[in-house]
Chains A and B, each alone.
Chain A
Amino acid sequence: MTFRQFAFNNVLRNKRTYAAYFFSSAFSVMVFFVYAVFAFHPGLAGGALHSQVATGMHFAEAIIYVFSFFFVLYSMGAFLKSRKKEFGLMMMHGMTDLQLRLMVSIENMLIGFFATIGGIGIGLVMEKLILLLAENLLELEETLPFYVPVKAMGLTFAAFMVLFMVISLFTVSILRSSGLIELLKSSVKPKPEPKASFLLSLLAAALLAAGYGIALRVRGTAVAAALIPVSVMVIIGTYFLFTQLSVFLVRLGKRNRGLFWRRTNLLLFSDLAYRMKDNARIFFIVAILSTVAFCAIGSLVGFKSMYVGILTKENPFAMQYQSYPGQARETEELHVGRIREVLEEEGVAYRHLVAELKYAAPAGSERPVMVIGASQYNALAEAAGLETFAPGDREAVLLYYANPAVRSRSDEGLRVLELPEASAQLDVSRSLDSYLFPMYAQVYVVPDAVVA
C-alpha cells in the first residue's frame, strides 16, 4: 500500500461518509451549470434585449460562484470536523502536516472531480426542462432549443476545478490550528448548549420585518434608493434568523414543559437547537443563494417587460420620417415619395400624417419652446388613440414627456405663453403626460392661428 493508494482507499471504501459532501458539491455545480447553459444559449446571442439577458445571467453566475465557494467550504468544514479523530490517529502514527495536506487535497480533488462531472451530468439531463422554464418565465417569443453546451460545460468544469483546488488549500488551515489531543478527543467532547441572545433575536425579527415591510411599501423611484438598505437589512436579518432567533424560539419552546415533555417533543426540541446552530451558516447561504437566483430571474423579467412596454408605447407609429430646418423641400418630398413607393410596392396599407413642430421664442424665457398646431396634433393623437382637444383662441396645452425608465418629470412649464412673433398671449390651461413626441421634453399645443 503506497501513500496514494491509502488516500484513494480512504475515499472509495468510505463512500457513505463522503456522500453528503459529494452531493452538496454536485448540487452547487448543477445550479451553476444550469445558469451557464442559459447564459451561453445561442438563441440569446443577438439583439439588445438578449445581450442584456445574457449579461444579467453572467452576473448571477458570478454571485452563484461566490456563494458556491462558501457552500462547498462549509460542507468541507463540516465533513472534516466529523473526521478529526481519524486525522488525530494518523498524526499519532507519524503522519506529517504535509502528508495530511496532501491526503486531504487528493481526497478533495477526487470528490471535486466526480462532483463536477456528476453535477454537469445531472444538469445536462435537466437542461431542456430548465430552458422550457426560462422560456415561459421570461416570456421569450422564440423557443430555446436543446443544444450541447460546450462552453457552459467548459466554464463549469474549469471554475469548479479551481474552486476545489482553492478549497483544498483552505481546509488545511482549518486543521492546522488544533493540537493532537483536541483531534483525538473531539468526538467525545460534549458540545456546549447552544445559546441565543435575546437582543440579537429581537434584532433579527425587527430587521426582517422592516426589510420586507419597506420592500413591499416602496413605489416608484424610491425602489432604487431602498434597494441596498433593504438588501443589507434582509441579509443580516436572515443570518440572525438562523443563528439566533431559531435557537431562541426552540429554547422558548423548551421552557413550556406541557409542550416540551410531550412524547417525542422532548427529543425533537433538544436536538433541534443543536441542529439549527450547527447548520445555521449552511441554511443562511442556501437562503441567500436561492434569493439571488430568483431575484436575478425576477429582475430580468421586470426589465424585459419594461423595455417592451417603453418600445411599444413610445413608438405609436410604425415609421417616422423627420426633416429638420435647412433641408430643402424637394429633398424632403423625394424621401417621402421613396418611402411611399416602397410601401406601395410591398402592398402595405398605410396612413400618412404630418406634424410640423416649430420653435417659438416666448417672452420672458431664455430658451425657445416647441409648438404645434392643434389640428395637426389632434390628427396624430387620434391615430395613436390618444385624447384630442380643441384649445380656445387664447389657450395652450403643455405636453410633457416622462421617461418611464427614469421617471424624470418635466411637467413644470410656463403658465403664460407670450409669443411676440405671432403677437399672441396664451394661457397654458392644462398640462398632460404624453409620449407622442419622445424627442422633446415639452411641446405646447397652440391654436392653429398662432402657427399659421
Chain B
Amino acid sequence: MDMLRIERVSKVYGGQVAHRALNDVSFAIQEGEFVGIMGPSGSGKTTLLNVAAAIDKPSGGQVWINGKDPYRLGKNELARFRRRELGFIFQDFNLLNTLTVEENIVLPLTLDGARVKVMEERAARLAKRLGIEAIMKKRTYEISGGQAQRTAIARAIIHQPKLLFADEPTGNLDSKSSRDVMELLEAINRTDGTTMMLVTHDPLAASYCHRVIFIKDGQIYNEIHRGSNRQAFFQKIIDVLSLLGGNAHDLSTIRV
C-alpha cells in the first residue's frame, strides 16, 4: 500500500519572474519504506518535501498521504491529521526554546489533549531509547546539537506517526552525531515500521535509505535501490551525484 503518493505535482513560485521549482513530479513511497531525496542545491528537494508534507500547497497535481489528500481536509481535520499521522525533523531542530526537553517531546500529545500520565510514560520510554534521560529537565539552549536533534526525533515519533519527514536532519551536526541520528532513524524505521522520507545532500546519510530518488531542476532524474551492502550503495550514490553534475561541495569527500 502506498503511504505517500505524489502525482504530477508542480510548484511555481510567483513574483516578477515566475520560477518553476517542481515540474511534473510523480512517485510513491510504500508503507514501511525509507526513501531519500537527493539533488544539487536549488534542485527542488525542500520544495518537494514541503509539498509532500502538507506545508506548501502545490500549484498543480495531487498529493495522497495514507489515502487522504491533505489539501482537501478542513483546517481542524488537517491539524488532527498532522498531530496523529505525521512527524517532522528539521535541519535546525526547531525546538521551542521556552520549553524543557521533556516538554518539547510531549508537545504533539499535549496538543492532542492526552493524559499527563500517558505522556510522562511515553516520554520516559523514548528518552531511554534515545539516550537523553539525563537532559530531560534541561532547556534547549543548554544541550548540544546532537542532543537537540535526538530530542526533535523523540518529539517527531512520540505520537507514533505513520509517516516521518526529515529535512536535512544531519545538516547541522558533526559526523559522529550524524551517524547516531541516522542509525536512530534506521532503527525506528525497522522496529516501528514508520515510513520515512528524508531530504539530504549528505551521501552518507542517504546511504541508510532503502531507495534514493535524485531530482534535478525540479524533475526526477534517477532512482537507485540499496542492495545488501551499505558501502556499495554509498559508492553508487556518489557516482550518480557526480554524474548529476552537482557542485563539488555537495559531495562531502571528507567522510570517505
Chain A minimum-CB-distance residue to B109 = A1
Structural contact, B111 and A94, CB atoms closer than 8 A: yes
Q: A336 within 8 Å of B by Cβ? A: no
A236 CB–B CB distance under 8 Å? no
Chain B residues contacting A90 (CB-CB under 8 Å) are: 96, 107, 111
Is B55 touching A180 in the complex (CB atoms < 8 A)? yes
Tell me whether B88 and A94 are in contact (CB under 8 A).
Answer: no
How many Å lie between the Cα of A306 and that of B169 in the bound state? 76
* Residue pair A93, B76 in contact (C-beta under 8 Å): no
> Count the B residues whose beta carbon is within 8 Å of the partner chain — how many?
32
Tell me whether A96 and B76 are in contact (CB under 8 A). Answer: yes
Q: Are B103 and A1 in contact (CB under 8 A)?
A: yes
The answer to whether A305 has its CB under 8 Å from any CB of chain B is: no
For A95, the chain B residues whose CB sits under 8 A away are 79, 83, 111
Quick check: is B144 within 8 A (CB to CB) of the other chain? no
B13, chain A: closest CB distance, angstroms: 11
Q: Which residues of B contact A180 (CB under 8 A)?
A: 55-56
Residues A98 and B76 in contact, CB atoms below 8 Å apart = yes
Residue-wise interface mask of B (69-103) relative to A, using a CB-CB cutoff of 8 A (1 in contact, 0 not):
00000011001111110101000001011110011
Stretch of A6-14, A120-128, A199-207, A337-345 lying at the B interface:
A6-14
> Does B99 contact A3, Cβ atoms closer than 8 Å?
no
Q: Which residue of A lies closest to B54 (CB)?
A: A180
With A1-B103, A10-B98, A14-B98: A96-B79 Cβ-Cβ less than 8 Å: yes
Q: Is the CB of A2 within 8 A of B75?
A: no
- Is A295 positioned at the interface, with any CB of B under 8 Å from its CB? no
Alpha-carbon separation in the docked complex, A2 to B117 (Å):
11
Task: Report the minimal beta-carbon distance from A363 to chain B, rounded to whole angstroms.
Answer: 88
Kindly provide the distance from the CB of B21 to the nearest chain A CB, expressed in whole angstroms.
12
Looking at chain B's contact residues, the main secondary structure is: helix
Whole-angstrom distance between the Cβ of B157 and the nearest chain A Cβ: 12
Instruction: Report if A89 contacts B (CB, 8 A).
Output: yes
Residue of B nearest to A93 (CB): B108
Contact yes or no, A93 B50, CB < 8 A: no
In the bound complex, do residue B96 and residue A94 qualify as a contact, i.e. CB atoms below 8 Å apart?
A: no
CB distance from B202 to the nearest CB of A (A): 21
Q: Which chain B residues border A14 with CB–CB below 8 Å?
A: 97-98
**Contacts A96-B75, A96-B80 given: A3-B116 contact, CB under 8 Å?**
no
Determine whether A86 belongs to the interface, using a CB cutoff of 8 Å to chain B. Answer: yes
Report if A169 contacts B (CB, 8 A). no
Residues from 151 to 188 in B contacting A, C-beta threshold 8 Å = 155
A10 nearest in chain B by CB position: B98
- Chain A residue at smallest Cβ distance from B114: A2
The answer to the question of B110 belonging to the interface, with a C-beta cut-off of 8 Å to chain A, is yes
By the criterion CB–CB under 8 Å, are B98 and A93 in contact? no
Would you call A179 and B57 a contact (CB within 8 A)? yes
Given that A93-B82, A96-B79 are contacting pairs, would A3 and B111 also be in contact in the complex, using a CB cutoff of 8 Å? Answer: yes
A97 contacts the other chain (Cβ, under 8 Å)? Answer: yes
Task: Name the residue of chain B whose CB is nearest to the CB of A92.
Answer: B88
| A9 contact set on B, CB distance < 8 A | 98-99, 103
Residue of B nearest to A91 (CB): B79
Residues on the A chain within 8 Å of B108, using CB: 93-94
A10 CA / B102 CA spacing, docked (Å) = 14
Docked Cα-Cα span, A371 to B155, in Å, equals 99
B24 at the interface (CB under 8 A from A): no
Q: Is A99 an interface residue (CB 8 A)?
A: yes
Q: Interface size on A (CB < 8 Å)?
A: 24
User: Does B14 interact with chain A (Cβ within 8 Å)?
Assistant: no
Q: How far is the CB of A11 from chain B (nearest CB, A)?
A: 8
Interface residue? A276 (CB, 8 A)? no
**CB-based contact A2/B112 at 8 Å:** no
Q: Which residues of A contact B55 (CB under 8 A)?
A: 92, 180-181, 184
Q: What chain A residues lie within 8 Å of B139 (beta carbons)?
A: 13
Interface flag for B119 (CB, 8 Å): yes
B198 within 8 A of A: no
B-contacting residues, A97-114, CB 8 Å:
97-99
Whether A93 lies near B103 (C-beta < 8 A) is no
CA distance A96 to B57 in the complex (A): 18
Cβ of B227 < 8 Å from any Cβ of A?
no
Could you tell me the distance between the alpha carbons of A86 and B97 in the complex, rounded to whole angstroms?
Answer: 10
> In the complex, A181 Cα to B96 Cα: how many Å?
18
A94 touching B84, Cβ below 8 Å = yes
Contacts A92-B88, A94-B111, A97-B76 given: A1-B116 contact, CB under 8 Å? yes
| CA A14 to CA B116, docked complex, whole Å | 23
Q: Nearest residue in B to A100 (C-beta to C-beta)?
A: B79
Q: How far is the CA of A95 from the CA of B113 in the complex (A)?
A: 11
Complex contact A89–B82 (CB within 8 A): no
Assembled-state Cα–Cα distance A91/B75 (Å): 10
Bound complex: CA A8 to CA B88 (Å): 25
A97 is contacted by which of B79, B88, B113 (Cβ under 8 Å)?
Answer: B79
Closest residue on chain B to residue A95 by CB atoms? B111
Determine the residue in chain B with the shortest Cβ distance to A96: B79
B88 to chain A: which residues have CB within 8 Å? 92-93
A339 to B79, CA, bound (A): 88
Q: A5-23: which have CB < 8 Å to B?
A: 6, 9-10, 13-14
Inter-chain contact B110/A3, CB cutoff 8 Å: yes
Tell me the bound Cα distance from A223 to B58 in angstroms.
Answer: 62
Q: A1-B103, A181-B56 are in contact. Are A94 and B110 (CB under 8 A)?
A: no
Considering only residues 274-332 of chain A, those with a C-beta below 8 Å from chain B are: none
Q: Does B106 contact A (CB under 8 A)?
A: yes
In the complex, residue of chain A having the shortest beta-carbon distance to the beta carbon of B86 = A94
Closest approach, in angstroms, between the C-beta of B115 and any C-beta of chain A?
A: 9
Query: Can you report 24 residue pairs joining A to B where beta carbons are below 8 Å apart?
Result: A1-B106, A1-B116, A2-B110, A2-B116, A9-B99, A10-B96, A10-B98, A10-B99, A13-B98, A86-B96, A90-B111, A91-B82, A92-B82, A93-B107, A93-B108, A93-B111, A94-B82, A94-B111, A96-B75, A96-B76, A99-B111, A179-B56, A181-B55, A184-B55
Which chain A residues have a beta carbon within 8 Å of chain B's beta carbons?
1-3, 6, 9-10, 13-14, 86, 89-99, 179-181, 184
B residues near A, CB below 8 A? 50, 55-57, 75-76, 79-84, 86, 88, 94, 96-99, 102-103, 106-108, 110-113, 116, 119, 139, 155
Contacts A94-B79, A94-B108, A180-B55 known; 12 new A-B pairs at CB < 8 A: A1-B103, A1-B106, A1-B116, A3-B111, A6-B110, A10-B99, A93-B111, A94-B80, A94-B86, A97-B79, A99-B79, A180-B56
5 smallest CB-CB distances across A and B, nearest first, come from A94-B83, A96-B79, A94-B82, A181-B56, A13-B98
